[in-house]
Amino acid sequence: SGCSSLETIEVEKGNKNYRSEGNCLLSADGKTLILGCRKSVIPSSVERINDFAFKGSSLEGEFEIPGNVSYIGHFAFSDCAFLTGIRIPRSVESIGYGVFSGCCRLEGFSLEKGNISYRVEGNCLISERDSAVIAGCRNSVLPEGVKEIGFSAFEGIILIEPPVFPNGLESIGEFAFSRSLNLGTVRFPSSLKVIEDWAFFRSDIKQAVFIESKAEVQYCVFYGCPYLFAVILPSSMKNVSESAFWNCPSLLRNPVAVA
């Protein structure tokens, strides 16, 4: 994990537990990819990409996932700072959380026609099952109809434009915008029900405006946001954790206001 210069992976012949192909470490049957590197080409035998398989790798440009893969694990491609695009086949049925977090140059997703589990809209990768954004990129525009922004969906992403949360959005998951940049002023819609733990941890958010909201703001949601200088809360909000704004030094001069 994090071995960004790693280029080759070879397993000695005769190993009964593992094998290598295309600079990938595979299970003995070739169906599970355990570890990849910057020079990996995923073999067609692979059906499952394990959690953290390419984390911190220096994969460059657009990367293609072959047509037999059905599962992509949690954080599988996280912190691949030079990855600009990803091609996902129609065979993929399940994608873990945080799969592209920290991919700061990622510009979009290419999803093969016929995939019934996911769709791409507004440069967001969205689950068809629950209309949740499971991954975003620097060009993302959140579309209407989205109900949820998932765990680490935009973590570590440098957005080209600040996010505009659509009406109808109900939840923002843990670490969803943690370490994200170019958030500016964020306005939360009245439909929002909950912002989960650490959602904006150490992001560069500057203002948080809650519009006629009754949302629950959970543990350390805005912890460590150095540029957050203004928060507007309506009197209808009753469930704001006392830890929500810890370690936000700019709020010392401009405390939270109630509209």
User: Per residue in 122-177, pLDDT tens?
Assistant: 999 999 999 999 999 999 999 999 999 999 999 999 999 999 999 999 999 999 99
* pLDDT over threshold 90, residue 211: no
Share the mean pLDDT of the chain.
Answer: 95
- Per DSSP, 160 falls in state S
Reported pTM: 0.94
| One-character DSSP codes across 80-135 | -TTEEEEEE-TT--EE-TTTTTT-TT--EEEE-TT-SSEEEETTEEEETTTTEEEE
Distance from first CA to last CA of the chain, Å, rounded? 47
pLDDT-derived band at 259 (thresholds 50, 70, 90) equals: low
Give the pLDDT confidence of 63-76 residue by residue, as tens digits.
999 999 999 999 99
